[in-house]
């Protein structure tokens, strides 16, 4: 009985945190960009405009929902959910802390401890693109179609780099279990960033492409494709796409923290209490979320062929070489 | 009681004893609160107001505070349509389509007088108030309104939304038959009553058209078929030897012109030969092609009625003209008169590809056909318009200007009511987003610069596709007229092979307001405010160009101090225009923050302009014979401060863009134009100099004393988008140099800023208030300014290139013709040539790099 209660509480807390993060991100995007551009950003609803996501959310729910003539109605309606659900599911295996002891119960701080956690995340990440492709195709609009096509090409290209950069970390940890990976990085000097800097850089670049974020936001690409795959979406279905995007960003930021920055490990305080670990995890993840925004409002956008060239001709060979070198070093040192 | 309840349901809704009423009220409050604080705008930035709309999003005003900065360019995600600027009947279909595509609830703000009432454009092309096609919630006066005024409108709209009862509406909807307010039932719109009331006495009503008798009897042209200038002012200009040689034996008749450009009348049969010889003689650019209608309303018909004019420039220096009159040897003008029942002339756009759009424009406006033109369609008016607006017998307010829109509207509603759209869409022939008239007239050929190249889109695609098995499946993609990257209301119909552009067909005219016609109606002086709204990002520069053309015709010159002030405001305007270029180009390529940096800087320039002229943009501060008022010390101090700190911003842009690898990759080798191509395509200004041609009118034909200033003319080496970017960046630095010199000159060049000449020049305002005679002069000049008989062309180096005014006067107070040579039109014309074979994404970079403003392109 207690087990079930703990499990339910964990689910509620983690999902709540994820959705809240997504809402905060939608505000942070506008506030941070405003600060970078000598502006204030939303500040009329609630203190510092914190209720802005609430206002946007209610407005979207109350908005008329349009399905364009000639759209494939079923797929058009399913696509946003397909886009948002995988990211929300993927968060389940992210370990956001070590083990907490509350009222005598030992609680592992993740919703589910899968021994193939990384495979699970990658599989769900691969599903996420279907929402974008189907949404683009089902809209019966050329702009949407082009956006969907671009997204599929981009995802395929960058998923390889993403997987290979993770592979190097997996080789070092000797496990696909994310908990094993953070256990291996408990001490500050054991953080993977010190052993796999190249994998970290590759992962970070692929992370931007995988979440369709600027400078790789070709599926949307406002100046060219108006809204890309979501050009024809209105009301809450449109908001779902964004919710999905922000959730995916959060998961990717958390994964980056977990793989390379020790997850909940606190530097120079190996036996920190569990809640300090959780705070450390949140701080690190927040930094990567900030990085998403920072890059978006600083850099121009690449061109699509440049993106593909970068993916196939630069990142993929580097990632392959990194895995081979890592493997060789591990094999040699093991002997 | 029952009727009272209907009228004021608030009483029952707010009754605390009724629990459902309380719930409904709370829900209403919550929904209204969310709606009013999350007004995502659809920025329908049509013209000048669009620039103020951008300023509204920028640092000083920051619409984001109201949660309303999330501008979406797809109508599906917007709540608020901000109609910013002049809506033309050609654009009306697109605007209405966008409105229909927005989901409920939706609101409309009419920003500026043009969208509120038609504003200063009482012409054949402009919708007299958008409320005749859209239900408007808030009107914002101003031309353009300051951003503060729009914020006020947003707050008013928020109050209006707060009064709404959304829950009751929801319940009513589910109970009764569905009223689809968002799909075009005009009768259900709140302003429908206004529309119907207007229908009878609308100024466009054909019954309201009365022939306007001329106040001044005009001289008949007489038996001489040519328009004779005033020998006292102009006289026959001496033509350089190569021109006389080229035209020898063609019966070319030298005619007087007021601007020193040799003008020859050539018979139609000899024109073709004249073109070819001039082309061989080194005249490699067509400056403009235009026409003059010599019909006088109220007088017997004149034949031959149309005079078609060509002006060509040579970039090959004539060795015989190395002296100061070099500039005069650079250009030659031809004229040919044709009868109205046989109105055609041979084309010259195979020799000068840049004449393509100009010839289409003459065909559109006058109905003169160009024999041999590969693609003679209308340019500015809709394809099935049916009239030629610049003919003298066409009324200023047009003949049934809304006919095409009403026809489209009827068909659209019939289709919608019969469910035909659904059936069509189900059959896979869905109406495309923002695509009011996707059909292209059959038989359009790809107009190719290089002779002998493939002209059929399929062949072009085949030549581009190589051995790709998938090539050849062509797709038409419509971009615009409302699209984030088209800088206003340009429309591009692109033929794509995958993502490769096979062909791009620019469709312009969505902002054609009939300025040239308006000038003929208003008179010389009252046209000044209209020149502001050509290239509205550099209003004062346009003023100067127009004033100089009129002064040339009048044979007067502004006093020295006025000339210095003109140089100063021209260069400040250039900086303003180039800042818009950088901001637009960067936002197109995704560097959004640069956009805001630029607007922060533009706000400082606005403050200077505001202090000097009293308005942020569209200042109208130049007059014939000088400028309206002297510049005072506070303005010069502010200008000094700006000029000292501005280069720091350019250094920051260098860091953000010039040396940014992504920016360089996106622009380098994109849209390469060789010097020869750029000249042939009639490009001028930074677009020409980017290709390495060192030609700047401030150097080549100095005006307003530019020869006294020390500045460099930057040129590019490759001719790609990156070169054009660098040229503009450097031009801003050079403008700073010129401005500083001008400010120094202002210290010691004293005196009047307005010429004392009661024939042409307004008396200073102060004296008008004191003296009866001055008041009479002021009245006469404003209403009845008569310029000497003759014709003159004057061009200035505007931010986009050669901005020229070709003015023709018959000595009366009504202008015969005022043709505006718009550099932006030529830049648009170059788009298909530089985009072929590039990726769709490059089109965005190319549009940015060609830098045009639709107000000037469409006029």
The answer for A 94-123 residues in CB contact with B (under 8 A) is none
**Count of CB pairs separated by less than 8 Å, A with B:** 196
Element holding B311 (H helix, E strand): strand B306-313
B462 confidence band (pLDDT: 50, 70, 90): low
Bridge-partner residues for B476, per DSSP?
B495
Q: Are A69 and B65 an interchain contact pair (Cβ–Cβ within 8 Å)?
A: no
Angstrom distances, CA of residue B24 to CA of B15, B20, B732: 11, 6, 59
Are β-strands B790-798 and B801-809 bridged in parallel, bridged antiparallel, or unpaired? antiparallel
Mean pLDDT of B637-654: 90
Q: What is the reported pLDDT for B643?
A: 92
Provide, as residue numbers in chain B, all residues whose Cβ is less than 8 Å from the Cβ of A226. Answer: 73-74, 433, 483-484
Q: What percentage of chain A reaches a pLDDT higher than 90?
A: 14
* B103 near A CB under 8 A: yes
Mean pLDDT of A181-202: 86
Provide, as residue numbers in chain B, all residues whose Cβ is less than 8 Å from the Cβ of A301. Answer: 589-591, 662, 666
CA neighbor of B29 nearest in space, from B137, B153, B163, B228: B163
CA neighbor of B753 nearest in space, from B740, B766, B744, B741: B766
3-state SS assignment for residue B41? strand
* A33 near B CB under 8 A: yes
When computed from its CA atoms, the radius of gyration of chain B, rounded to whole angstroms, is: 28
Q: What is the reported pLDDT for B214?
A: 34
A289/chain B closest Cα distance in angstroms: 18
Element holding B227 (H helix, E strand): none
Element holding B828 (H helix, E strand): helix B823-835
- Domain B515-821: CATH superfamily is Cytochrome-c3 Hydrogenase, chain B (1.10.645.10)
The answer to whether B363 touches B376, Cβ cutoff 8 Å, is yes
B655/chain A closest Cα distance in angstroms: 11
Considering chain B, what is the average pLDDT of its residues? Answer: 79
Q: Is the pLDDT of residue B215 over 60?
A: no
**pLDDT tens digits along B767-805:** 888 888 888 888 888 888 888 888 888 899 999 989 999
B569/chain A closest Cα distance in angstroms: 27
Provide, as residue numbers in chain A, all residues whose Cβ is less than 8 Å from the Cβ of B58. Answer: 39
**pLDDT tens digits along B732-768:** 999 999 999 999 998 888 888 888 887 888 888 878 8
Specify the higher pLDDT residue, B427 or B266: B266
Q: What is the reported pLDDT for A335?
A: 67
Q: What is the reported pLDDT for B172?
A: 66
B478/chain A closest Cα distance in angstroms: 9
Q: Which of A55, A141, A223 sits opposite B588 (nearest CB)?
A: A223
Question: pTM of this prediction?
Answer: 0.84
Query: DSSP letter at A38?
Result: T
Q: What is the reported pLDDT for B196?
A: 38
Number of alpha carbons in the 13 Å side-chain half-sphere of residue B278 = 34
3-state SS assignment for residue B323? coil
- Residues counted in chain A: 335
Least confident of B184-198, B248-262, B322-336, B668-682: B184-198
The answer for B 410-439 residues in CB contact with A (under 8 A) is 421-422, 424-426, 428-433
Q: How many helices (H) and strands (E) does chain A have?
A: 13, 2
Q: Which of A57, A70, A221 sits opposite B426 (nearest CB)?
A: A70
In chain A, the residue whose alpha carbon lies closest to the alpha carbon of B38 is A56
Q: Which of B67, B430, B485 sits opposite A69 (nearest CB)?
A: B430
Q: Which of A69, A235, A238 sits opposite B422 (nearest CB)?
A: A69
B234 confidence band (pLDDT: 50, 70, 90): low
Least confident of A251-255, B158-162, B416-420, B498-502: B416-420
Mean pLDDT of B552-569: 89
Least confident of A7-11, A271-275, B171-175, B396-400: B171-175
Q: What is the reported pLDDT for B805?
A: 92
Most confident of A104-108, A317-321, B102-106, B175-179: A317-321
Provide, as residue numbers in chain B, all residues whose Cβ is less than 8 Å from the Cβ of A34. Answer: 62, 64
Considering chain A, what is the average pLDDT of its residues? Answer: 86
Number of alpha carbons in the 13 Å side-chain half-sphere of residue A63 = 33
Q: What is the reported pLDDT for B571?
A: 92
**pLDDT tens digits along B304-338:** 888 899 999 888 755 444 444 444 458 888 888 88
In chain A, the residue whose alpha carbon lies closest to the alpha carbon of B601 is A38
Angstrom distances, CA of residue B769 to CA of A247, B631, B763, B764, B781: 69, 21, 10, 9, 16
The highest-level CATH class for domain B4-170 is: alpha beta
Provide, as residue numbers in chain B, all residues whose Cβ is less than 8 Å from the Cβ of A224. Answer: 485, 840-841, 843-844
In chain B, the residue whose alpha carbon lies closest to the alpha carbon of A141 is B432
Are β-strands B500-507 and B622-623 bridged in parallel, bridged antiparallel, or unpaired? unpaired
First CA to last CA distance, chain A: 48
Complex ipTM: 0.85
Quote the CA–CA distance of A60 and A48 in Å, as a whole number: 21
In chain A, the residue whose alpha carbon lies closest to the alpha carbon of B500 is A305
First CA to last CA distance, chain B: 58
CATH 3.40.50.12280 residue window(s) in chain B: 4-170
Q: Are A42 and B663 an interchain contact pair (Cβ–Cβ within 8 Å)?
A: no
Quote the CA–CA distance of A188 and B184 in Å, as a whole number: 65
B194/chain A closest Cα distance in angstroms: 27
Mean pLDDT of A178-202: 86
**pLDDT tens digits along A103-161:** 777 777 788 888 888 899 888 888 888 888 888 888 888 888 888 888 888 888 888 88
CA neighbor of B616 nearest in space, from B12, B275, B150, B254: B150
Q: What is the reported pLDDT for B20?
A: 61
Extents of the domains making up chain A: 2-334
**pLDDT tens digits along A45-69:** 888 888 888 898 898 888 888 887 7
Domain B229-393 has CATH 3.30.460.80: yes
Q: How many CB atoms lie within 10 A of CB A267?
A: 13
Token readout for A79 is: 């696509």
Provide, as residue numbers in chain B, all residues whose Cβ is less than 8 Å from the Cβ of A214. Answer: 590
CA neighbor of A312 nearest in space, from A160, A209, A113, A170: A160
B76 contacts: CB under 8 Å, gap ≥ 6: A66, A227, A231, A232, A233, A234, A238, B101, B102, B103
Quote the CA–CA distance of B417 and B419 in Å, as a whole number: 5
Q: Are A37 and B59 an interchain contact pair (Cβ–Cβ within 8 Å)?
A: yes
- Please, what's the largest Cα pairwise distance for chain B? 101
* B587 near A CB under 8 A: yes
């Amino acid at each position: 009985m207690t087990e079930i209660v703990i499990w339910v509480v964990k689910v509620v807390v983690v999902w709540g945190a994820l959705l809240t993060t997504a809402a905060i991100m939608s505000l942070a995007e506008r506030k941070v960009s405003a600060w970078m551009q000598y502006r204030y950003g939303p500040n009329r609803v609630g203190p510092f405009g914190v209720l802005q996501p609430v206002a946007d959310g209610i407005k979207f729910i109350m908005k008329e929902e349009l399905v364009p003539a000639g759209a494939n109605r079923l797929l058009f309606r399913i696509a946003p959910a397909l886009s948002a659900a995988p990211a929300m599911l993927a968060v389940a295996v992210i370990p956001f802390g070590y083990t907490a002891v509350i009222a005598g119960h030992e609680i592992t701080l993740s919703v589910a401890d899968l021994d193939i956690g990384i495979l699970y995340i990658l599989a769900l990440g691969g599903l996420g693109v279907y929402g974008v492709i189907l949404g683009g195709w089902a809209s019966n609009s050329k702009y949407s179609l082009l956006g969907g096509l671009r997204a599929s090409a981009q995802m395929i290209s960058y998923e390889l780099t993403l997987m290979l950069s993770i592979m190097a970390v997996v080789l070092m940890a000797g496990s696909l279990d994310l908990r094993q990976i953070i256990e291996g990085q408990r001490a500050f000097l054991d953080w993977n960033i010190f052993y796999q800097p190249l994998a970290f850089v590759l992962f970070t670049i692929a992370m931007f492409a995988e979440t369709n974020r600027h400078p790789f936001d070709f599926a949307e690409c406002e100046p060219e494709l108006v809204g890309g795959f979501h050009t024809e979406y209105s009301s809450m279905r449109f908001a779902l796409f964004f919710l999905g995007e922000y959730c995916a960003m959060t998961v990717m930021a958390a994964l980056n923290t977990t793989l390379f920055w020790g997850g909940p490990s606190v530097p120079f305080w190996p036996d920190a209490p569990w809640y300090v670990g959780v705070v450390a995890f949140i701080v690190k993840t927040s930094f990567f979320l900030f990085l998403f925004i920072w890059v978006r409002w600083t850099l121009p956008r690449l061109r699509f062929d440049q993106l593909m060239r970068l993916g196939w001709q630069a990142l993929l060979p580097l990632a392959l070489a990194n895995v081979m070198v890592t493997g060789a070093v591990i094999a040699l040192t093991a002997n | 009681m029952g009727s009272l309840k209907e009228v004021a349901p608030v009483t029952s809704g707010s009754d605390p004893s009724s629990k459902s009423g309380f719930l409904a009220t709370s829900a209403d409050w919550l929904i209204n609160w969310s709606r009013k604080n999350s007004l995502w705008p659809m920025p329908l930035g049509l013209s000048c107001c669009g620039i103020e709309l951008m300023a509204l999003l920028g640092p000083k005003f920051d619409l984001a505070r109201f949660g309303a900065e999330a501008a979406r360019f797809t109508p599906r995600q917007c709540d608020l349509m901000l109609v910013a600027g002049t809506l033309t009947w050609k654009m009306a279909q697109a605007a209405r389509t966008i409105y229909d595509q927005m989901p409920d609830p939706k609101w409309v703000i009419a920003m500026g007088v043009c969208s509120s009432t038609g504003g200063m454009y009482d012409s054949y092309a402009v919708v007299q108030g958008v409320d005749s096609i859209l239900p408007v919630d808030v009107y914002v006066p101003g031309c353009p309104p300051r951003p503060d005024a729009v914020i006020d409108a947003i707050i008013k709209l928020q109050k209006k939304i707060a009064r709404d009862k959304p829950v009751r509406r929801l319940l009513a909807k589910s109970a009764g038959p569905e009223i689809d307010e968002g799909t075009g039932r005009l009768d259900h719109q709140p302003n429908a009553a206004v529309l119907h009331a207007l229908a009878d006495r609308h100024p466009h009503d054909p019954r309201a058209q009365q022939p306007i008798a001329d106040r001044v009897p005009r001289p008949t042209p007489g038996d001489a078929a040519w328009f004779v200038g005033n020998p006292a002012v102009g006289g026959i200009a001496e033509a350089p030897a190569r021109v006389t040689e080229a035209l020898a034996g063609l019966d070319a008749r030298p005619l007087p012109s007021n601007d020193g450009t040799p003008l020859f009348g050539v018979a139609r049969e000899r024109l073709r030969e004249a073109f070819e010889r001039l082309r061989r003689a080194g005249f490699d650019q067509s400056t403009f092609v235009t026409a003059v209608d010599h019909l006088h309303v109220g007088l017997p018909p004149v034949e031959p009625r149309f005079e078609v004019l060509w002006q060509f420039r040579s970039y090959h220096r004539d060795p015989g003209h190395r002296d100061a009159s070099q500039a005069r040897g650079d250009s030659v003008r031809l004229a040919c008169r044709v009868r109205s029942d046989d109105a055609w002339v041979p084309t010259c756009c195979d020799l000068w590809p840049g004449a393509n759009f100009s010839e289409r424009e003459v065909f559109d406006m006058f109905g003169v056909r160009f024999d041999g033109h590969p693609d003679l369609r209308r340019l500015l008016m809709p394809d099935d318009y049916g009239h030629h607006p610049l003919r003298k017998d066409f009324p200023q307010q047009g003949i049934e200007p809304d006919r095409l829109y009403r026809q489209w509207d009827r068909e659209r509603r019939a289709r919608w009511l019969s469910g035909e759209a659904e059936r069509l869409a189900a059959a896979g022939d869905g109406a495309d987003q923002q695509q009011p008239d996707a059909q292209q007239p059959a038989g359009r050929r790809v107009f190719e610069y290089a002779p002998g190249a493939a002209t059929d889109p399929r062949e072009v695609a085949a030549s581009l596709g190589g051995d790709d098995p998938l090539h050849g499946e062509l797709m038409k993609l419509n971009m615009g007229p409302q699209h984030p990257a088209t800088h206003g209301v340009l429309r591009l119909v692109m033929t794509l092979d995958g993502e490769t552009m096979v062909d791009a067909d620019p469709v312009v005219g969505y902002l054609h307001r009939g300025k040239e016609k308006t000038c003929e109606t208003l008179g010389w002086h009252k046209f000044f405010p209209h020149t502001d709204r050509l290239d509205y990002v550099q209003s004062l520069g346009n003023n100067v160009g127009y004033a100089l053309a009129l002064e040339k015709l009048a044979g007067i010159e502004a006093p020295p101090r006025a000339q210095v002030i003109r140089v100063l405001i021209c260069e400040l305007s250039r900086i303003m225009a180039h800042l818009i270029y950088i901001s637009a180009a960067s936002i197109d390529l995704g560097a959004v923050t640069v956009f805001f940096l630029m607007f922060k800087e533009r706000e400082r320039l606005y403050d200077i302009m505001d202090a000097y002229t009293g308005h942020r943009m569209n200042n109208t501060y130049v007059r014939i014979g000088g400028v309206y008022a002297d510049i005072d010390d506070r303005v010069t101090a502010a200008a000094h401060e700006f000029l000292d700190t501005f280069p720091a911003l350019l250094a920051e842009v260098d860091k953000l863009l010039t040396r940014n690898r992504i920016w360089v990759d996106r622009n380098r080798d994109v849209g390469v134009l060789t010097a020869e191509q750029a000249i042939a395509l009639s490009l001028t200004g930074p677009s020409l100099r980017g290709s390495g041609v060192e030609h700047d009118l401030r150097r080549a034909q100095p005006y307003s004393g530019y020869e006294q200033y020390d500045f460099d003319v930057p040129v590019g080496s490759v001719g790609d988008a990156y070169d054009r970017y660098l040229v503009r960046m450097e031009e801003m630095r050079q403008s700073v140099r010129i401005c500083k010199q001008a400010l120094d000159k202002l210290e010691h060049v004293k005196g009047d800023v307005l010429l004392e000449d009661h024939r042409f020049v307004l008396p200073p305002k102060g004296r008008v208030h004191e003296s009866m005679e001055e008041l009479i002069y002021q009245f006469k000049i404003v209403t009845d300014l008569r310029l000497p008989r003759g014709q003159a062309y004057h061009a200035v180096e505007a931010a986009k290139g050669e901005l020229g005014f070709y003015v023709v006067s018959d000595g009366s107070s009504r202008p015969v013709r005022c043709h505006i040579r718009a550099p932006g039109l030529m830049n648009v014309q170059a788009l298909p040539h530089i985009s072929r074979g590039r990726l769709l994404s490059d089109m965005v970079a190319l549009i940015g790099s060609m830098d045009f403003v639709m107000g000037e392109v469409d006029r």
